[in-house]
Amino acid sequence: MGTVLKQKMSMLVGLLAAIAMAFVLTPVAAHATPTSPTDVADSTVTINNLIDGDTVEAFLIADADIDASNNLTYTMAANLPSAYDSIDKIKVVASDGNSFHQGSDMQNAASAIAKAFADAGTTAAASATASGTSATLTLGSGYYLVRVTSTSGQTRVYQNMVVDASPVANASGTYDAHPAQTIDVKKTDVTIKKGVGSEYKESTDKYSVGDMVPFKVETVVPNYPADSKDATFEINDQPTAGLEIDTTSIKINGVAAVSGTDYTITAATNGYTIKFAKAYVLAHPGEAITVTYNAKLTSAAFSHDANDVTGNTATVTFNPNPYTSTTVTPDSKTKVKTYGFVFKKTDPDGNALKGAVFELKVTNKDGSTTTLTSTSDENGYVYFEDLGEGTYTVTETVVPAGFSKVADQTFTLNEASCTQDNPATAVVENNYLVSSVNVVDPKQPALPITGAAGTFALTAGGVALLAVGIVFFLRSRKQEL
């Protein structure tokens, strides 16, 4: 009997262990089923108008429960602002899926609660990551603050919401789970767009060295909640080598940029930063901001590398989650493309001529003139660069000894023709026009004999002629006699 009893006890222990293991391994979803005989099942809230990868979080404001007497009761969360610390105060501002505008009662409540929860470090009761343009939360019964954070790298600020997921009374006098909800969240897209040239496109090749190039930056003030903990909004712009900003030309919405209560500006020839005050940002949600300025194109603009681009990068810095200090910085870039041309200077026999000087006068957009010069090297190469699209004429101003000046040379530069490298530098550049015809200086014609040898020859000739004349005269006299 002892052996049988031990075997049965062993089997019982094993069965209990198996049951315990089953409980351990079986996943349990929070609020997946009613937590009491009178509770209701969870409900779902789908948030639309998102970007793939955005994070959606729900923070419990009021936990709903149905007691044994079939009464619906609420337990309020800790750390709520005093203006929203009772269920009656929450019910009147909860979202119906339509009211998400800055300044609305619901938005004011959501902003205040979001700030209070952020300050207290309150953790989310549920979260989901957007797949495509939506994310679905499964929520236990109650009221929730729903917050969306743009963690996908996109440039958005989302509006907070107070959502009602409370049980709903049915005809029999009991409660059902709240029907599934679908809500289109409101947001502000904080983008930045940079333009260059008279038409403010992404790139231009219409400018040459010495020109003032116009630029424009366009963005929008983020639509932050009224009680944002942080409300950063900054515009930065930094040109590459070859562009020097005229700081006196910077304007914001058509008005000269000067530091004041609305913003501060720090500007130099190599870039500027505009920092908007929090009060201004919160008072002007969604306002368009346009910054314009001019930058001078210098000789450093010419690319000596196929990957080296002259232009600038503008950025806007803001908080996708205004209840933290975390910021993102989307950017926009422009390009100023310049060209060059090169030809080879030779003698009539094809030999390279060193020391020939050519001059090119560039008429700038403002009517002024920039003069460029280039001297042929030991290989005879003459080249000019930092030039915009157009036709250019060069004149030889210094001619090597023994040669005559060549006629003026004309070259037409554009994106289609300037695709080669400069043979004078042997650097990959992809923006040169290389002349297929050499520029030939003709040799000077023979000049009349001059100097001592010439003088001697002339004297000898004169003496000979004089001698002939004397002989002729003497013979004539003799015949007369």
In the CATH scheme, what is the code of domain 339-440? 2.60.40.10
The predicted pLDDT at position 480 comes to: 52
Q: Identify whether the C-beta of residue 415 lies closer than 8 Å to the C-beta of residue 337.
A: yes
Whose tokens are 């930056």? That residue is: 217
Distance CA 284, CA 186 (A): 17
Q: Evaluate if residue 342 carries a pLDDT over 90.
A: yes
Query: Mind listing the pLDDT tens digit for each residue in 360-377?
Result: 999 999 999 999 999 999
Q: Evaluate if residue 339 carries a pLDDT over 60.
A: yes
Bridge-based pairing of strands 271-276 and 288-297 is unpaired
Contacts of 468 (CB under 8 A, 6+ apart): none
Q: Evaluate if residue 448 carries a pLDDT over 90.
A: no
In the structure, what pLDDT confidence band is assigned to residue 89 with cuts at 50, 70 and 90?
very high
Query: Mind listing the pLDDT tens digit for each residue in 398-419?
Result: 999 999 999 999 999 999 999 9
The winner for highest mean pLDDT among 16-25, 215-224, 435-444 is 215-224
The predicted pLDDT at position 306 comes to: 58
Q: What is the mean pLDDT of residues 389-402?
A: 95
Q: Which of 24-38, 202-216, 256-270, 327-341 is the least confident region? A: 24-38
User: Considering only the top CATH level, what class is 192-334?
Assistant: mainly beta
The predicted pLDDT at position 191 comes to: 87
Distance CA 433, CA 443 (A): 27
Q: What is the mean pLDDT of residues 194-223?
A: 94
Distance CA 386, CA 132 (A): 46
Q: Is 402 exposed, middle or buried (0-12, 13-18, 19+ CB in 10 A)?
A: exposed
Q: Which of 106-120, 205-219, 319-333, 371-385 is the least confident region? A: 319-333
The winner for highest mean pLDDT among 88-102, 192-206, 217-231, 295-309 is 192-206
- The residues spanned by each domain of the chain are 43-188, 192-334, 339-440
The predicted pLDDT at position 467 comes to: 53
| 43-188 CATH fold | Immunoglobulin-like (2.60.40)
Q: Name the CA radius of gyration of the chain, rounded.
A: 43
Percentage of the residues of the chain whose pLDDT score is greater than 70: 80
- Assess whether the region 43-188 and the region 339-440 belong to the same CATH fold: yes
